[in-house]
Each structure stands twice: as C-alpha cells, then as structure tokens.
C-alpha cells in the first residue's frame, strides 16, 4: 500500500502541477503574450480564462476515452497513457511562440494543447484513484484514497512555487520571454513516471478478478456464440446515469470554490484595477494556503471511514455556502495575512468534500464500469464547475464592480451540491 500510495500521489501531484501551471499562466502571462496587443486588460484576461476553460471541457472526453481503456485493458495501462499525454502537451506549451511571432495561430495552438491537457487529466484521476482505492482494505478506503486527492494541492504548491522562483530569478522582460516556460518544460518527467507505472506497478486485485472471471466465461463458450464486447462507457451511461449526474453535481461546489480561490483570486489581487497587489504576494498566499490543505484532506478522508462519506460531504457543502460571504470581504482587505487565511479556510472546508471523494465515487459504481463511471461523474462536474468559474467571476466583477455577486454564485453551487449529495444515498448499494 505504501508503494501504491506514493505512486498515486506522485502521479496526481505532477499531473495537477502541469494542469495548474496553465491556470497560473492564464492569469499572469497568457493575456499579454498570446492575444492581440491593445486589448483592454479585462478583455484579454477573460479571453485567457476562456482558453483555460477548454481543458475542462476536454476532461469528460478524456474520461470517456481513458475510462474505456481502464475498464477494458486495466487501470495502470490507462494511467500510464494519460501521464505520457499530459507530459508531452505541457512541454509543448512551453515551446509555443507568442502572438508577436505566430499571430492568430498562437491562441489557436494554445487551445489545442490545452485540450490535450484536458484529455490527459480526464483519464489520469480515475487511474491513480482506483490503483489505490481498489487495493485498500474496505474499511480504510477513505484514508488511503485521500492521498491521491492530496495531489491537487501539492500540484498547486509546486506550480505556484515554480512561478515564484521564475519571477524571482528573472527580470520582468526575461520572465515573459523565457522564465515562465521553464516549469512547463519540466513536465517531460511525467514520461519517466509513466514508464515506472507500466513496468513496476501491479494491476488491482478487483480488476484482475473481473478479467479472470470474464476470460473464464468466454473460454467455455463456442467462438460463434461469443457476444460482441459492450463498451464500458456505454454500459456506465445505460446502467448508472443517475449516479453519474449526481456525482457531477456533487463535485460542483468543490470545483467552483477551488478555482475561485486559486486562479481567479490571483488575477483579481494582482490587477491594477482592483487590489493592485504584486503577483508574488498573491502566489505566495495561494502557496501557503494550499500547503496547509494537504493534512485536511487526509484527516477528512480518514474521518469518512468512521462517520460516513455522505454526512461529511454534506456538512462541507453547507459550510462552504456560508463561508462564501466571508471569503471575498477578507480578500478585499488587501492584507496578505487575511488573504492567506481566507484561502486556507476555503481549502480546509473543501477538504471535507474532496478528501473522501475518491472512495465515495469508487463505491458508487461496479468494478466493470468503475473507471468510466467515476471518471465521467468527476470530469462532468469539472466541466460545469471549474471550467467556467474564473470566467463567470470575471464577468460578474466587470458587470457589478464588486464581489458580492461572486459570493452568491459560489453559494449557489454549494446548494446544488448539497441537493445532489443528498440524492446519492441509494447509490451506495452499487458497490461491486
């Protein structure tokens, strides 16, 4: 379990590092580098966040593609393929020239590479999560599964730290020219991790048992009588449509609050039109708060084994709805200490939902469609929540010139999550 936990943690951490690098760059670099000069700053920022959203809309497609592979060929094969795709796409973003060189091709190619990132992350989470959860003792799935969730804040810390170092070691001009690209180039290391997963990690016992039973059944049948293999994706959509939709809704509050607190806040705080704080200050606030989140995820994952995942998840969504109206007033103080506190509390409450989520989503689907079903629910929630959250917040800010409307949006997402989680109770019986 220790080796599997470390492998899952490493995989999710580096994958999320790559995915969040784009988020930080979309707030600090891409509006200047990849869009036509002369655009109003808020328009360029909105355009940049729109390309950021492309990765989220690609995630359900990735969940379908890699979910099929993971349910058919195995968890580790799908995970290794997703790691290779993410490492390659992220490294290529670091090589992409800007608008001054390519003109309109620059944002177009940026969108293509972001789409490939989304495909990869759409398949990665399910593979890393199932390698851990399906190997864990049933009574400790929440605890062990939470370590794959720690990859999200670990990726945020690494991405923000990389940009802090890049800004500290280069001049502003040097940062825009080359400095921001170096963290993207480092992602090629994912290819090495993929090789390790492929060569050294064993398939999960549940999938091996499923495959053995399927092979034994087919071996007793005449060749002419063997039925055509049914796609796990199609089977998941046909047999578990309710669970998939409720899982997507359950993830909404997590995604909206998470991306508002790590991506939108950086752009809002560093904007000359609003808080006018330095980029380094905002990145440092996010970094410190994200580092403090990791223990909360493990704690709440372990508590879900004792007190139940649904109860903890619902408490987290209710608390987040209330906290939404304190979050932005604390950000608006312009105090780095209070900004860090605001993000830290947001991420801690998020941990009540995100920590137990790996085990919860795995337990909603039978083994034969678990990769497809859990990944689709997770990634559909990402597309509806995380994809548009920074853009919606930017639009609300531009329209109303204040943050109260953003708090209402955040609380509304939490209400949807609360209702969806309440509807998940009958689906708990679908454990394979």
pLDDT single digits (tens) 104-144: 898 899 999 999 988 998 888 888 889 899 889 989 999 99
Q: At what angle do helices 232-239 and 41-72 cross, to 10 degrees?
A: 100
pTM of this prediction? 0.83
Give 147's contacts (C-beta < 8 A, 6+ positions apart).
5, 8, 9, 132, 298, 301
Residue 429 is assigned to a structural domain of this protein: no
Instruction: Give domain status of residue 430, yes or no.
Output: no
Q: What are the φ and ψ backbone dihedral angles of 333, each rounded to 5 degrees?
A: -70, -20
Which pLDDT score is estimated for 431? Answer: 39
Report if residue 427 sits inside a domain: no
Task: Using alpha carbons only, give the angle 320, 326, 327 rounded to the nearest 5 degrees.
Answer: 75
Q: Taking Cα atoms as reference points, which of 147, 160, 176 lies closest to residue 33?
A: 176
Q: Please tell me the predicted confidence (pLDDT) of residue 220.
A: 67
| Residue 145 is assigned to a structural domain of this protein | yes
- At residue 414, the pLDDT reads 96
426 located within any domain? no
For position 48, what pLDDT does the model report?
83
Give the model confidence (pLDDT) of 261-288 as tens digits: 988 898 888 887 788 888 888 888 988 8
Confidence at residue 72, expressed as pLDDT on a 0 to 100 scale: 86
Nearest to 324 by CA among 349, 361, 306, 299: 349
What the block records as the tokens of 379 is 């990634």
Quick one: three-class SS letters along 325-381? HHHHHHHCCCCHHHHHHHHHHHHHHHHHHHHHHHHHHHCCCCHHHHHHHHHHHHHHH
In a domain, 431, yes or no: no
| Cα dihedral across residues 27, 32, 33, 35: positive or negative | positive
CA distance 266 to 425: 37
Look at residue 192 and tell me if it is in a domain.
Answer: yes
Report CA 345 to chain centroid distance, whole Å: 19
Q: What average pLDDT does the structure give for the chain?
A: 86
Radius of gyration of the chain (CA): 21
**CB distance 289 to 281 below 8 Å:** no
Q: End-to-end alpha-carbon separation of the chain, Å?
A: 21
Q: Between the CA of residue 338 and those of 160, 263, 282, 330, what are the distances in Å? A: 19, 17, 12, 6
Instruction: Determine the pLDDT at residue 212.
Output: 80
Judge contact between 124 and 79, C-beta under 8 A. yes
Band the pLDDT of 20: cuts 50, 70, 90: confident
Give the pLDDT band of residue 352 (cuts 50, 70, 90): very high
In this predicted structure, the answer to whether residue 329 has a pLDDT above a threshold of 90 is yes
CATH number at residue 389: 1.20.1250.20
CB 231 within 8 A of CB 102: no
Q: How many domains does the chain have?
A: 1
Distance of CA 354 to the CA centre of its chain: 10
Do you know the residue count of the chain?
Answer: 432
Residue 307 has pLDDT above 60, yes or no: yes
State pLDDT tens for residues 35-47.
878 777 778 887 8
Q: Which residue has the tokens 């802090």?
A: 164
Measuring CA to CA, how many Å separate 297 from each of 42, 147, 198, 283, 425?
34, 8, 28, 21, 22
**Per-residue pLDDT at 365 exceeds 90:** no
* pLDDT at residue 138, rounded to an integer: 87
Establish if 387 belongs to a structural domain: yes
- 203-261 pLDDT, tens digit per residue, is 788 888 877 876 676 566 665 554 555 677 788 888 888 899 999 999 999 999 998 99
Domain that holds residue 159: 2-420
pLDDT, tens digit, 9 for 90 and up, residues 143-196: 999 999 998 888 878 887 888 888 888 888 888 888 889 988 888 877 788 778
- Write down the pLDDT at residue 229: 59
């Amino acid at each position: 379990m220790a080796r599997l936990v470390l492998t899952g943690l490493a995989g999710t951490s580096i994958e999320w590092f790559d995915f969040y690098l784009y988020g930080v760059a979309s707030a600090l670099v891409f509006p200047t580098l990849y869009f036509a000069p002369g655009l109003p700053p808020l328009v360029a920022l909105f355009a940049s966040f729109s390309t950021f959203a492309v990765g989220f809309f690609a995630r359900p497609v990735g969940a379908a593609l890699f979910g099929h592979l993971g349910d058919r060929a195995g968890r580790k094969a799908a995970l290794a393929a997703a790691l290779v795709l993410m490492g390659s796409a992220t490294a290529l973003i670091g090589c992409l020239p800007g608008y001054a060189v390519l003109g309109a091709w620059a944002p177009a190619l940026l969108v293509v590479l972001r789409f490939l990132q989304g495909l990869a992350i759409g398949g990665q989470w399910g593979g890393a999560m199932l390698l851990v959860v399906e190997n864990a003792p049933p009574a400790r799935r929440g605890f062990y599964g939470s370590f794959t969730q720690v990859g999200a804040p670990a990726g945020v810390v690494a991405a923000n730290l990389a940009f802090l170092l890049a800004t500290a070691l280069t001049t502003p001009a040097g940062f825009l020219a080359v400095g921001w690209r170096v963290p993207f180039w480092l992602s090629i290391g994912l290819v090495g991790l993929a090789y390790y997963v492929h060569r050294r990690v064993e398939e999960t016992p549940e999938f091996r048992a499923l495959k053995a039973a399927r092979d034994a059944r087919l071996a007793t049948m005449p060749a002419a009588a063997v039925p055509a293999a049914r796609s796990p994706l199609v089977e998941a959509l046909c047999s578990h449509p309710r669970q998939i939709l409720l899982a997507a809704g359950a993830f909404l509050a997590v995604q909206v609050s998470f991306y508002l607190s790590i991506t939108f806040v950086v752009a809002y705080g560093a904007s000359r039109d609003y808080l006018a704080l330095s980029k380094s200050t905002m990145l440092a606030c996010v970094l410190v708060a994200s580092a403090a989140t990791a223990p909360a995820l493990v704690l709440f994952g372990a508590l879900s084994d004792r007190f139940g995942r649904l109860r903890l998840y619902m408490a987290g969504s209710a608390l987040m709805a209330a906290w939404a109206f304190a979050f932005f007033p604390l950000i608006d103080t312009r105090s780095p200490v209070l900004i860090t506190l605001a993000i830290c509390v947001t991420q801690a409450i998020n941990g009540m939902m995100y920590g137990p989520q790996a085990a919860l989503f795995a337990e909603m689907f039978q083994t034969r469609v678990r990769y497809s079903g859990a990944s689709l629910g997770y990634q559909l929630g990402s597309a509806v929540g995380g994809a548009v959250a920074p853009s919606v917040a930017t639009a609300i800010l531009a329209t109303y010139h204040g943050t109260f409307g953003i708090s209402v949006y955040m609380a509304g997402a939490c209400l949807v999550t609360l209702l969806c989680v309440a509807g998940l109770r009958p689906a708990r019986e679908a454990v394979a």
